[in-house]
Amino acid sequence: MIRPRFACLRVVWVVSALVVAFWLWASPRPAFAQGPTRTVAVHLFEWRWEDIALECEQFLGPKGFAAVQVSPPQEHAIVTSSDGGPYPWWQRYQPVSYQLVSRSGDRQAFIDMVQRCHAAGVDVYVDAVINHMTGQESGVGSAGSTYTHYDYPNYAPWDFHYCGTPGNEIQSYSDRYQVQNCELVNLADLNTGSEYVRNTIAAYLNDLVSIGVDGFRIDAAKHMNTNDIAAILARVNGSPYIYQEVIEAAGEPITGDEYFQNGDVTEFDYSTSLGNVFLHGQLSWLSSFGEAWGFMPSDKALVFVDNHDNQRGHGGGGDVVTYKNGTLYDLANVFMLAWPYGYPRIMSSYEFSHRDQGPPSYSDGTTKPVHNPDGSLNCFGAEWKCEHRWRPIANMVEFRNVTAPAFYVSNWWTDGYNQIAFGRGDLGFVVINRDTSKWLSQTLQTGMPAGTYCDVISGERNGSSCTGNTITVNADGTASFSVPPMSAVAIHANSKVSNSVAVTFDVYATTYWGQNVYVVGNIPALGSWNTAQAVPLSASAYPRWRGTVQLPANTWVEYKYIKKDGGSVVWESGGNRTFTTPSGGSLTRTDTWR
Ligand code: LAG
Ligand code: CA
């Protein structure tokens, strides 16, 4: 599924089509008016608004992310003790009012974040907690509002469901009525069937839309009748992107497809199935990953390797891959981002040892920054994990953007176990070796145009150079790969470093029995003057020795012929032979041994 990156223009359309016309015309253009489709979201779980604004500017925008999902922005309960210490992350799933004052920052900081993310071309999705209020007896919220379990600034006791079970608690998930009208873990359940409640929730969402919010994750959607959600959304201005948190479970009456009328739905089976394959199975099983596995239609599915709940055993739990799995997590995300199914959301976490533990914080309970005041990053260590910045994951965002027009799998290959490779038409190709000990050494059909490509897993392209390994695609689309255990290689149309030229070396040289002729030169494809890496020529037209090599286009080449007989190396005399490769096509060097 392709997410147009223009979503943040919607609000502008409401203001004036002329303004849009001006933006499209004006120079320099805003970042979001050019470039490829953006197709990947990231959840910056528990990040402060100021950090998200900086992240949009410094990383998400430049790297091509479509959107960021932020933690619930509304006033929330303050929970001073839990099994995981004070201020658990989940206190934010207990709304007290719809004032935008939370652990992540205040209203002004929120507005500033939305504007700065938009300027960087990144949409903002809000986690909308609208099924319920708190699970507390009473308290004071993050904006200072006092409340009791059924009494809040916006709601009175008659605005809640009382389903009649003990404590009004959900007792049976096989009972549709209970799931939607009783309390989920003691959270006071709003009567979303009432006009007043619908209007009040819609006013909250409209406030966010007016600030520029582009989409909503509807929290606990399964616990609301789909038509209640529809009635609320009918009152919401514009057409924000909607995805609903529905955790489908075997034997339960409420299914994800009931919610398609309102928008997309989270596909939890994707996360747990991928976890099962990467942790306990074989990657060869993934050849038909998607609807054939019983998942919802691709264009309805919001997919993820792990989310903030199941990475810590909440929200249905499951045996999923998380940052704690290290390199395996890279590989699972590389697969998700390369595989044409659903709208992927990357998880960005913080280190935790207890499932209830809140984000990295100071002793007064305020959240620590990700972007330190001195400009350095508090990432990758014992606090914020910043998985979306792990190079293989970050660079696969561009892969998904660039390959979006070819939303299908081509040239699938597997060793039958834990090594797989596949292409995305002529726009990208990925090789994943999840084997823990076996190298993947194969010549594979990539379907890509000939050329030299930068592998975006080991580095990135910088102009016409590559900070990682390069892959040469031959004129027939094949390329040879040598991939160590537990790693991957990915190339795409925008990681091409140079076109390649098929150069035939044809030299007249007499040899004695056991002696062979090679060509060696200044560039890697010619061995970089290392005689052990010289290119062997064929004697089938003896005394002419011939061989064809793909060399980078528009490149200065120096070379010489050598003779090897196993032990000794004989260099031809004279200076280096030289030429510059053309911009494409092929050429033959016809020489005589000196
Ligand atoms: C969700 N999706 O549908 C969220 O993804 C999930 O994180 C939310 O639960 C849930 N719905 C309700 O918004 C989280 C924690 C719960 C936590 C709840 C409210 O997973 O564990 O419950 O937020 O904070 C906690 C305690 C319960 C207690 C309850 C009320 O864990 O034991 O009964 O608070 O005090
Ligand atoms: Ca409900």
Q: Is the pLDDT score of 33 beyond 80?
A: no
Residue with CA nearest ligand 1 atom 11: 220
What pLDDT digit, counting tens, does each position of 447-497 carry? 999 999 999 999 999 988 899 999 999 888 999 999 999 999 999 999 999
What pLDDT digit, counting tens, does each position of 293-309 carry? 999 999 999 999 999 99
pLDDT band per the 50, 70, 90 thresholds, residue 567? confident
Q: Residue 138: CB partners within 8 Å, gap ≥ 6? A: 146, 147, 148, 149
Percent of residues, the chain, with pLDDT higher than 90: 89
For residues 144 and 77, membership in a common domain is answered with yes
pLDDT band per the 50, 70, 90 thresholds, residue 14? very low
For residues 378 and 307, membership in a common domain is answered with yes
CATH code where residue 471 lies:
2.60.40.1180
pLDDT band per the 50, 70, 90 thresholds, residue 246? very high
Q: What is the pLDDT of residue 19?
A: 38
Is pLDDT larger for residue 22 or for residue 350?
350
Q: In the listed set 354, 389, 424, which residue is the last one of a domain according to the structure?
A: 389
Residue with CA nearest ligand 1 atom 13: 93
Residue 420 CB neighbours (<10 A): 25
Q: What is the pLDDT of residue 288?
A: 98
Q: Is the pLDDT score of 6 beyond 70?
A: no
For residue 26, is it within any domain? yes
Residue 564 tokens read as: 């090897």
Separation of 474 CA from ligand 2 center, angstroms? 59
User: Can you tell me the mean pLDDT for 362-372?
Assistant: 96
Q: Which of 149, 187, 229 to mutate to test the pocket of ligand 1 (most atoms within 8 A of CB)?
A: 187
For residues 141 and 189, membership in a common domain is answered with yes
Ligand closest to CA 71: 1
Q: What is the pLDDT of residue 16?
A: 43
Closest atom of ligand 1 relative to the 247 alpha carbon: 3
Q: Which residues are catalytic?
A: 219, 245
Q: What is the pLDDT of residue 585?
A: 85
Q: Say how far apart CA 512 and CA 510 lie, in whole Å.
A: 7
CATH code where residue 308 lies:
3.20.20.80
pLDDT band per the 50, 70, 90 thresholds, residue 3? low
Separation of 140 CA from ligand 1 center, angstroms? 18
Q: Is the pLDDT score of 20 beyond 80?
A: no
Residue with CA nearest ligand 1 atom 7: 309
For residue 527, is it within any domain? yes
For residue 300, is it within any domain? yes
Question: Which residues approach ligand 1 with their CB closer than 6 A?
Answer: 90-91, 93-94, 129, 135, 184-187, 219-220, 245, 309, 314-315
Q: Is the pLDDT score of 383 beyond 60?
A: yes
For residues 434 and 531, membership in a common domain is answered with no
Q: Is the pLDDT score of 56 beyond 90?
A: yes
For residue 569, is it within any domain? yes
Q: What is the pLDDT of residue 36?
A: 63
The SS3 call for residue 552 is strand
For residue 397, is it within any domain? no
Residue 164 CB neighbours (<10 A): 10
Q: Is the pLDDT score of 10 beyond 80?
A: no
Residue 62 tokens read as: 């430049």
pLDDT band per the 50, 70, 90 thresholds, residue 5? very low
How many domains are contained in the chain? 3
Q: Residue 272: CB partners within 8 Å, gap ≥ 6? A: 310, 318, 319, 320
Say if residues 427 and 405 touch (Cβ distance below 8 Å): yes
Q: With 0-12 CB in 10 A as exposed, 13-18 as middle and 19+ as buried, what is 293?
A: middle
For residue 105, is it within any domain? yes
What pLDDT digit, counting tens, does each position of 163-187 carry? 999 999 999 999 999 999 999 999 9
For residues 16 and 133, membership in a common domain is answered with yes
For residues 366 and 419, membership in a common domain is answered with no
Q: With 0-12 CB in 10 A as exposed, 13-18 as middle and 19+ as buried, what is 37?
A: middle
For residues 300 and 348, membership in a common domain is answered with yes
Is pLDDT larger for residue 476 or for residue 135?
135
Q: Which domain holds residue 544?
A: 501-592
What pLDDT digit, counting tens, does each position of 504-551 carry? 999 999 999 999 999 999 998 899 999 999 999 999 999 999 999 989
Separation of 246 CA from ligand 1 center, angstroms? 14
For residue 483, is it within any domain? yes
Rg from Cα positions in the chain: 29
User: Can you tell me the mean pLDDT for 285-294?
Assistant: 98
CATH code where residue 551 lies:
2.60.40.10
For residue 396, is it within any domain? no
Q: In the listed set 475, 498, 521, which residue is the last one of a domain according to the structure?
A: 498
What pLDDT digit, counting tens, does each position of 102-116 carry? 999 999 999 999 999
For residues 506 and 480, membership in a common domain is answered with no
Q: In the listed set 466, 498, 530, which residue is the last one of a domain according to the structure?
A: 498
For residues 225 and 129, membership in a common domain is answered with yes
* Average pLDDT over the chain, rounded to an integer: 93
- Least trusted range by pLDDT, from 20-34, 337-351, 434-448, 497-511: 20-34
Separation of 135 CA from ligand 1 center, angstroms? 9
Q: What is the pLDDT of residue 217?
A: 98
Q: With 0-12 CB in 10 A as exposed, 13-18 as middle and 19+ as buried, what is 573?
A: exposed
Q: What is the pLDDT of residue 583?
A: 86
* Residue 158 phi, psi dihedral angles, 5° rounding: -75, 0
The SS3 call for residue 185 is coil
pLDDT band per the 50, 70, 90 thresholds, residue 62? very high
Separation of 189 CA from ligand 2 center, angstroms? 5
For residues 311 and 420, membership in a common domain is answered with no
Residue with CA nearest ligand 1 atom 20: 314
For residues 415 and 538, membership in a common domain is answered with no
Percent of residues, the chain, with pLDDT higher than 70: 94
Tell me the H-state helices in 224-326.
Answer: 226-233, 268-280
For residues 82 and 225, membership in a common domain is answered with yes
